[in-house]
Structure 1
Amino acid sequence: MDKKIALSDFEKVKQWGTSASLNDDLILLSDVTNLPQMTEPHRLNFIVIGLCQQGSARYMLDTEEKIINQGDIIIVSDRHVVDHVTSSDDFECVGMALSMKFFYEVIREVSDISALFLYSRYHPVMSLSEQEQQMFHDDFKILNKKITETQNHFHKELMRTLILAMFYDLSNIIYRAQSIKEDHQTRSDIIFTRFIRLVEENCRQQRRVSWYAQQMNITPKYLSQSVRNVSGRTPNTWIDNYVTLELRLALKNSTKSIKEITLDFNFPNQSFMGKYFKEHTGMSPSDYRKN
């Protein structure tokens, strides 16, 4: 990794304003007034969602300038490179930061939400109507109240459910924005969106780019070019990311043996699966499960 591009520190998000947090998974920010004035690029390893209440801010996202004004919602996904962040003196924002692990735990069984959030990856700033802004504030108010109720035996599960409900509201906003811009989608955009949906549905069984290209009736070369054009990543990278994520979830949330998980994911044998998992996480499946 380029020394000038550092992974931003999730914990430092708490310094942006008044905050409440859920372990290392979620940070709620009720009044962001201390937006960091970044002068060096940072690659995010978490998701930021915020609503600008007052003032404005500018930043570079993957070398492209973005401007946030009052009433705009911003969704910045993981792996994006953020640089040159500046804000007006009267800037105010409310929002949250979620670890990628927690984000995928929330949406893992809702493919439509995942696909809609994928749209926001390339359209990170959207203007909200007054009604949509009020909806965001209402959802956030409930989250901010419930996050302090740590005595609740089902606290994390409750927070996960409330965030999922908020994501449905956000996804409706994204769906509206996507519908408006559908006529302007490129062929690569359409291919990429369909590819990701196929990966989400089939990554446990299929890891070959050629298989996905065949389902889409295009050549592997054309699929690779389209995915690279839109995302800057190869199809193999996307497939590996999803497979690794699903493996992590299976190892953490399932009582199945590693041998059974190996069969579920269509690996030829347990040794092969172990090497694959370690290559992408730096840990063996058994060590990951223990930790």
Structure 2
Amino acid sequence: MRIRTKMLEIFIILVYIFTYVVKCFFVVRNVVRLFAKALPKKLYMDKAYEKLHDTLMFYGVDCVLPYYISSGNPIPEFPETSFRVDYYAVCVCVEGQIEIEIDNLQYHLSENEFLVLAPSTVLRFVQTSGELRMRLLLFDKNFLLKNIADPFFLDKMGLFTGRSFCVIRSNGDDANRIFSLMEYLKEVSERNGRYTLDLVRTLIFNVLLEVAEIVVNEKQTSDKTLEEGNCLFFRFMELVCKHVGQHKDVAYYADCLSVSNKYLIAMVKRGAGKTPHQIIDEYILKEALALLGNPEKTVSDVAYAIGFNSVSAFGRFFKKHSYVSPSEYRRAQLSGQEI
């Protein structure tokens, strides 16, 4: 009897200890949250922004959509530290000037000049002059892939020739044409219709094609002036686009290009700021997203179509890079949701 009583007392003590620890945990968590909210904005945001939502939150914009179109209002401040974007961006300077460092290269943007960014670009805002106003179009890297026949469409546009960004010096007519498109895009994006998302996708394609047309018309340097490293990078990208379904190892592409793995890695990193392996994974993911958008193909069909030996291996790869399983992604797409 005494043993049972003693055991009961010990059990009650353990319950009290456990309850106390849990309470302490929640108290500490709430204190940390309050402290984070009390921090100055610039200090609190002193981190590597990656997602679109994180960047917008710096400006107090709580946007949960996979895209954002700004109104062109003055931009009072910028993050003080560099950050790597995980989305696409089209930025048009409306008024004022800005010095910006892009992948360790410094550029000056003024009225009617464009900046187009691809995921993985590293930015650092140096300084501004005058009242800076910019029209911004930002969208998640996978947003345009739904219902698209060619998942490598953006890569073939010519906006990112050897780099993950493009700086465009345009005239007033070109800029006004883009302004008009972005104004209409913003108007459409604020609708709540059945086809709003599809309309937004289509209009974003229109904006990108118009910008690509400006790049072609304004391009002053011929392809012959490209240095060896860029030529190698372009050839690598072409090979990946053609063979990524059958070959996922860097060594295969190095052999095709008659260079060592080390040299290929160095040239690709210089051209895109990413390793060959990262680019290969991105291409595989794009192909997977496009194929999963076809309801006639099973997840198993998709896995084998892009060169995986098993559905489980494909599932692990897909979840690692998109944070959801292939089945979850497909259900969301079929129900009209965005991930």
Instruction: Give the Cα–Cα distance (whole angstroms) in 1 for the partners of residues 117 and 81 of structure 2.
Output: 17
Cα drift, residue 112 of structure 1:
5.7
Aligned counterpart for 2:92 among listed residues 44, 51, 56? 51
CA contact (8 A) 2:69 2:138 kept: yes
Change (3 A) 1:282 1:96: closer
Q: Which residue identity does 1:142 align to in structure 2?
A: Y
Match status 1:127 vs 2:169 = yes
Summarize deviations over 1:66-89 as a string: whole Å, max 9, x none.
Answer: 211112101122222222343223
Cα drift, residue 49 of structure 1:
0.9
CA contact (8 A) 2:102 2:122 kept: yes
Cα drift, residue 13 of structure 1:
2.9
Residue identity over aligned pairs, in percent, reads 19
CA contact (8 A) 2:148 2:290 kept: no
Instruction: Give the Cα–Cα distance (whole angstroms) in 2 for the partners of residues 247 and 277 of structure 1.
Output: 8
Q: Which residue identity does 1:219 align to in structure 2?
A: V
CA contact (8 A) 1:13 1:97 kept: no
Instruction: Give the Cα–Cα distance (whole angstroms) in 2 for the partners of residues 112 and 185 of structure 1.
Output: 23
Q: How many residues align?
A: 285
Instruction: Give the Cα–Cα distance (whole angstroms) in 2 for the partners of residues 177 and 197 of structure 1.
Output: 24
Aligned to 1:7: 49
Q: Which residue identity does 1:119 align to in structure 2?
A: T
Instruction: Give the Cα–Cα distance (whole angstroms) in 1 for the partners of residues 145 and 204 of structure 2.
Output: 12
Structure-1-length-normalised TM-score: 0.83
Change (3 A) 1:165 1:57: same
Q: Which residue identity does 1:137 align to in structure 2?
A: F
Aligned to 2:188: 146
Match status 1:218 vs 2:258 = yes
Q: Which residue identity does 2:170 align to in structure 1?
A: L
Match status 1:39 vs 2:39 = no
Deviates more, 1:87-96 or 1:224-233: 224-233
Structure-2-length-normalised TM-score: 0.72
Cα drift, residue 230 of structure 1:
1.8
Instruction: Give the Cα–Cα distance (whole angstroms) in 2 for the partners of residues 35 and 46 of structure 1.
Output: 22
CA contact (8 A) 1:38 1:86 kept: no
Cα drift, residue 185 of structure 1:
1.3
Aligned to 1:79: 120
CA contact (8 A) 2:97 2:132 kept: yes
Q: Which residue identity does 2:311 align to in structure 1?
A: Q
Aligned counterpart for 2:159 among listed residues 106, 113, 117? 117
Instruction: Give the Cα–Cα distance (whole angstroms) in 2 for the partners of residues 106 and 87 of structure 1.
Output: 40
Instruction: Give the Cα–Cα distance (whole angstroms) in 2 for the partners of residues 5 and 136 of structure 1.
Output: 32
Q: What pairs up with 1:1-291 in 2 under 5 angstroms?
A: 5-8=47-50, 10-11=52-53, 12-13=55-56, 24-34=65-75, 36-105=77-146, 109=150, 111=152, 113-115=154-156, 116-119=158-161, 121-122=163-164, 124-151=166-193, 153-178=194-219, 180=221, 182-215=223-256, 217-221=257-261, 222-289=263-330
For residue 98 of structure 2, give the secondary structure of its aligned residue in structure 1.
Answer: strand
Instruction: Give the Cα–Cα distance (whole angstroms) in 1 for the partners of residues 279 and 253 of structure 2.
Output: 12
Instruction: Give the Cα–Cα distance (whole angstroms) in 2 for the partners of residues 133 and 106 of structure 1.
Output: 29
CA contact (8 A) 2:163 2:272 kept: no
Cα drift, residue 264 of structure 1:
0.9
User: Where in structure 2 are there 5+ consecutive unaligned residues?
Assistant: 1-44, 333-339
Summarize deviations over 1:79-107 as a string: whole Å, max 9, x none.
Answer: 22222343223212212111112144487
User: Where in structure 1 are there 5+ consecutive unaligned residues?
Assistant: none
Change (3 A) 1:156 1:278: closer
Change (3 A) 1:240 1:122: closer
CA contact (8 A) 2:244 2:283 kept: yes
Cα drift, residue 161 of structure 1:
1.3
Instruction: Give the Cα–Cα distance (whole angstroms) in 2 for the partners of residues 139 and 14 of structure 1.
Output: 25
Instruction: Give the Cα–Cα distance (whole angstroms) in 2 for the partners of residues 290 and 109 of structure 1.
Output: 21
